[in-house]
Chain A
Amino acid sequence: MHTQVSRVPMERLAAPDENAETIVFIALSKASYIAGA
């Protein structure tokens, strides 16, 4: 586990809401010019 974490620049594991907040942004009109990314 330590080896896996050390490969991540932030040196910690993600929390589920961190992924969710990106999903929310992509789903919003704020991201209305993002497609295929």
Chain B
Amino acid sequence: MDILVASAGIAKAGTIEETTVEDFDALFAVNVRAPYFLLQQLLPVMCKGSSVVLLSSLAAHASVGTLSAYAATKGAIDTLVKHFAAALGERGIRVNAVAPGVVPTDMSSFAKTDAGREFTLGIQALKRMAQPDDIGAAIVFLASDEARWITGDTLRVDGGSKL
């Protein structure tokens, strides 16, 4: 295996008071536990020169909305990237993450609303809504040999949000 992109994830907005134990556990199960053990199980078939790309989020780096539990999962990804990269570098395996900003997809219905669009454009420098391809291009770059000297890093792909 040359490339692993662990992009599955879930999000659930909620204030601290509204967030349930079940919500919290589900977020960590999908967003943290799954990529951790996916990587663990695939390590035996990952060859020298392999690249792993995980999905972080703008929410891990800035307070956006009521996403504290979700943000914590993405903060965990940023931490795992550093530890994975340090541990796997000598095997020639690179590990990085991409941290998208707000992207109007099925996962972020808020971003599809007028209020969501206004909020998103208000916090970012480029003043345009992201498209999935914007994120995909960064993932492809990190996965490619062109990024062979990049490991342990989280690349923000958020249009300059919350600078």
A: residues with CB less than 8 A from B are 8-11, 14-15, 18-19, 21-22, 24-25, 30-37
Contact = CB atoms under 8 A, between A and B. Distances in A.
B146 A22 contact: yes
A11 B89 contact: yes
Q: Is the interface of B mostly helix, strand, loop or mixed?
A: mixed
B145 to A, nearest CB: 9
Contacts of B160: 35-37
B159 A35 contact: yes
Interface string B91-110: 01010000001000000000
The interface size bin for chain B is 20 to 34
Contacts of B86: 9
Contact of A30 (B141, B147, B151): B141
- Give 8 nearest A-B pairs by CB, closest first: A9-B89, A35-B160, A33-B134, A18-B149, A36-B160, A30-B137, A37-B156, A21-B146
B157 interface: yes
